[in-house]
Structure formats: C-alpha cells, structure tokens
Chain A
Amino acid sequence: MELDYVAALEGCARGEKQALRQLYDAEAGRLIAVAQRIVRRRELAEEVVQDAFIQVWRKAATFDPALGSARGWIYAIVRNRALNVVRDGSREDLVDADTLDAAREGQGVVADAYEKLGQGSRLRDCLEVIDKEKRESVLLAYVAGYTHGEIAGQLGVPLGTAKSWVRRGLAALKDCMA
C-alpha cells in the first residue's frame, strides 16, 4: 500500500517515531542514492540522510503543502544537506584528490540519472526535446549538485552562458510539461 506521506509527517510532528520509521522504510534507500549523486561517497551520503531524517523529524510541523508534495519536501531536505556538504568543500576525498576526475564523474552521474527515467516518462520526453546544453545544465545542477560556476567549467562556457542555459532549460521544460 502506498504510504500516506502527509499523514506520516503529521505523525512525526506529533512525536510518533513509527511515522518516521515508515518514511525511512519507504525512502531511505533511494534518498541515499540521490545524496550519493551529489556527495559521491557512500558514507557521506548516509551521513546526509541521517541528518536529513533528524531534520524531517524536527521540522515536520512546518511542512507546507503550498510548496509541493510531502515527498518532494523530504527530498529537498536531503538535497540541501548534500549541497551543504559539497559546498563546504568536503566533496573531495582526501586520498582520491589527485586522481578524481570530478568533471567526468558529474556527467556520468547525469547520464545515469537520465537513463533511469522510464521510457513512458513525460519528463524524459520533454528533456529529450530541449537543446542538449540546456538539458545538461539543468541536470548537472539538479542531479550532481553543480554550481553555476561548475556547470560553466564543465561545459566550457562563460558563467553568464551557464546561467542563461539553466534558466532557458527550465523555461523550455515548463512549456513542454504544461
């Protein structure tokens, strides 16, 4: 049976640990995968998800359905935690710092995430018709957690171009999905 995410958050807000456990059972594995696309390392991804569940527990009462689905809210918390970790400069593995080809990894992560979208997916259809560089810009930000600067570096264009590709990519996506 599909979990009622709003009811689970309400349970968390009332201090019912079972409600958090339901969310954990339903989502923790996928949240780790999502966090790992950004922080890359499995143990960091688990730390991100651990922190995120504590935040879900504490902030459940502040969930606002006007900002989207309950599930989307939970994923946004994980995304923000993961971004904090990488923006604080701890994405690099000290030991791997010399060998890590961060750029190639980012594009691999994006290609993989794109691939996983089902064939019948409207979102996938829409992503397919957007210009490649705009699609890549949006996905590098969303999936791999890249900044505008990192997108610019990755795609070899000026910062302003990267910013405009992201905006135009999102706008094109909106038009297509409408």
Chain B
Amino acid sequence: MTMAAGNSGDFEDLAGEYVLGLLDDEARARFETLLDTEPAARAAVARQRDQLLEIDLAAPAEVPSAGLWPAIETQLQAPDTTVASLSAHRRMRTASSAASATASFWRGFAAAAIVAMIGSALAWTYVTPAAPRLIVVLLDDEAKPVSIVEAFGDERIRVVPLGTIDVPAGKTLEVWTLPDKTTGPVSMGLLESVSASVLTGPALPEPKPEQLYEITLEPAGGSPTGRPTGPIIGKGFAKVPQI
C-alpha cells in the first residue's frame, strides 16, 4: 500500500470518529498529531464538524442559572482560587499566580469566600501523616461546600464536614461512592457524628480521579436497601491534590 497523504478520503473515517468523540485517548492524540501536518485531515474534520453542528444549533436553548456567568467570571478573575489542593493553598498564600484550574465545582460567588474555610481544613490535613491520593469537595444543591472527603487509595476515607449539617432524629448520614457504572453506588459507611471521621469501606478498586462521592440522609442504621434512598446532602468528584 502506498502512502496516500493528501487524499482526504483516507482521513474521513478517522475524522468522523474524532468529531463524534469515538476515538480513545491514544487514537485521539495520534489523530491530533496528524491534524498538525495533514491539511486534508483538517479539512475532513472541518467539513464533518460543521455539518453535524446543525443538530446542536437546532437544540432549544435552556435558560442558564443566574449564577453561571458569575461563576465563570470568578474563575477568569481568580484562577488561583480554583484548585482544591495544598499546593494551590500555598500558592495563594505566597500570592503567586499561574495556577491551573480544575475545579468546576467552585461555583458562584461563594468561591472566594469559601477558600479560607477550605484552607483551614486542608491545613488540618497537612499536619496529619497520611497524604490523601484524592480529595473531593462535596457541594450541596446550592453549590455550597458541605464536606471534604479524602481517599487514601485503600479502603479508608476521611470525611471532614465543613460546618454543621442538620441530622433529624432517627436519621443518619451515609457516605457513598460510585466506583463504576456497573457496580453502582457503594456505601463507605455511616458518619457517627458531624465531625472529622475516618471510615473504612469495602474492598474496592483504587479510587480514581473524577470518581463520584456523596453523602445522603438515611434512616438510622443506614440505607435499608444498600443503595442511597434519601436526599443528597452533598456530592462531588475526586480530584488529585498537587501535594
């Protein structure tokens, strides 16, 4: 077979899968390298992308939440407040810039105000011996932080509530994670009190970045079904702390 660079037909299939989001990470990276050098590949992407765009443009627009633009604006202005990590905390203290933002969960006006609170929680973490592999900031439905979860890469997690959480009589707080879609939600245990607690969950695969954690309100003794049944107190996705 001869090299047929320049024939856009050779790139159509790949370009299509690229535009549809069907390439895995490796194939996508390879194709993006190809895009740098092959005008025909770029043309194939351009054609397919703009062709399918019509489907998106036909979608009826939602009304964005009032807090969405302010949240974006906050992130533009204060990138240093956007990383839930010790290094970010240190950077803030030294007023250095050039932070990379990962934290989509820092939503709304609250971002600047809550940094001090998170900072103190992280300082507490800092003096403890074990370094967490992952940190999760759990937000309530108003995007206010209610708790931190630190995962240590084994069965243990540490839960650090940020402020008080009302637990009605006969109810308890239960912590959950979603290791993967097929396993479904798994209980990591009950919070005996609204204070920093180490829980030991069942043996699970090592927690991954972006893994979902959440706390729900359940009947005393825990969910009767083994799955979350009560309202969500807070939820968030695991991030890698830059320690």
From B53, B55, B210, B237, name the one whose CB has the most chain A CB atoms within 10 angstroms. Answer: B55
- Does any Cβ of A come within 8 Å of B235's Cβ? yes
- Does any Cβ of B come within 8 Å of A145's Cβ? yes
A151 to chain B, nearest CB (A): 9
How many angstroms from the CA of A121 to the CA of B208 in the assembled complex? 43
- Interface size of A by CB at 8 A reads 69
Question: Is A89 touching B20 in the complex (CB atoms < 8 A)?
Answer: no
Question: Is B51 touching A123 in the complex (CB atoms < 8 A)?
Answer: yes
- Does any Cβ of B come within 8 Å of A8's Cβ? no
Question: Is B63 touching A29 in the complex (CB atoms < 8 A)?
Answer: yes
- Does any Cβ of B come within 8 Å of A131's Cβ? no
**Residues in B whose Cβ lies below 8 Å from that of A116:** 58-60
Question: Is B210 touching A68 in the complex (CB atoms < 8 A)?
Answer: no
Question: Is A66 touching B42 in the complex (CB atoms < 8 A)?
Answer: yes
Question: Is A67 touching B49 in the complex (CB atoms < 8 A)?
Answer: yes
Question: Is A148 touching B62 in the complex (CB atoms < 8 A)?
Answer: no
- Interface size of B by CB at 8 A reads 64
How many angstroms from the CA of A8 to the CA of B138 in the assembled complex? 35
Count of A-B residue pairs with CB < 8 Å: 182
Question: Is A142 touching B52 in the complex (CB atoms < 8 A)?
Answer: yes
- Does any Cβ of B come within 8 Å of A9's Cβ? no
How many angstroms from the CA of A177 to the CA of B43 in the assembled complex? 15
Which A residues between 114 and 132 are near B, CB-CB below 8 angstroms? 114, 116-118, 121, 123
- Choice from B39, B58, B72, B178 contacting A89 with Cβ under 8 Å: B178
**Residues in B whose Cβ lies below 8 Å from that of A48:** 104
Q: Which residue of chain B is the closest to A69 with respect to CB atoms?
A: B50
- Does any Cβ of A come within 8 Å of B75's Cβ? yes
Question: Is A21 touching B69 in the complex (CB atoms < 8 A)?
Answer: yes
Question: Is B56 touching A97 in the complex (CB atoms < 8 A)?
Answer: no
Question: Is B68 touching A28 in the complex (CB atoms < 8 A)?
Answer: yes
- Does any Cβ of A come within 8 Å of B45's Cβ? yes
- Does any Cβ of B come within 8 Å of A76's Cβ? yes
- Choice from A17, A46, A88, A117 contacting B65 with Cβ under 8 Å: A46
- Choice from A57, A66, A167 contacting B16 with Cβ under 8 Å: A167
Tell whether A50 pairs with B22 under 8 Å between CB atoms, given A66-B46, A68-B49. Answer: no
- Choice from B45, B104, B141, B176 contacting A47 with Cβ under 8 Å: B104
Question: Is B59 touching A50 in the complex (CB atoms < 8 A)?
Answer: no
B243 to chain A, nearest CB (A): 22
Question: Is B210 touching A67 in the complex (CB atoms < 8 A)?
Answer: no
How many angstroms from the CA of A71 to the CA of B55 in the assembled complex? 13
Question: Is B46 touching A33 in the complex (CB atoms < 8 A)?
Answer: no
Question: Is A28 touching B55 in the complex (CB atoms < 8 A)?
Answer: no
**Residues in A whose Cβ lies below 8 Å from that of B214:** 94
A115 to chain B, nearest CB (A): 9
Interface residues of B (CB under 8 A from A): 12-13, 16-17, 19-22, 35, 39, 42-43, 45-65, 68-69, 71-73, 75-76, 101, 104-105, 107, 141, 176, 178, 180-181, 184-185, 208-212, 214, 216, 227-229, 232, 235, 237
In the complex, given contacts A68-B53, A75-B53, A138-B20, what are 12 additional A-B residue pairs having Cβ atoms less than 8 angstroms apart? A29-B64, A30-B61, A54-B75, A68-B50, A69-B46, A75-B56, A88-B237, A94-B212, A97-B185, A114-B55, A170-B13, A170-B16
What are 21 A-B residue pairs whose CB atoms fall within 8 Å in the complex?
A: A29-B63, A34-B56, A43-B141, A47-B104, A54-B76, A66-B46, A68-B46, A69-B46, A72-B53, A76-B19, A89-B180, A89-B210, A94-B212, A95-B232, A98-B184, A123-B52, A141-B21, A143-B55, A166-B16, A170-B20, A174-B12
- Which A-B residue pairs are the 6 nearest by beta carbons? A29-B61, A88-B210, A68-B46, A170-B16, A68-B49, A141-B20
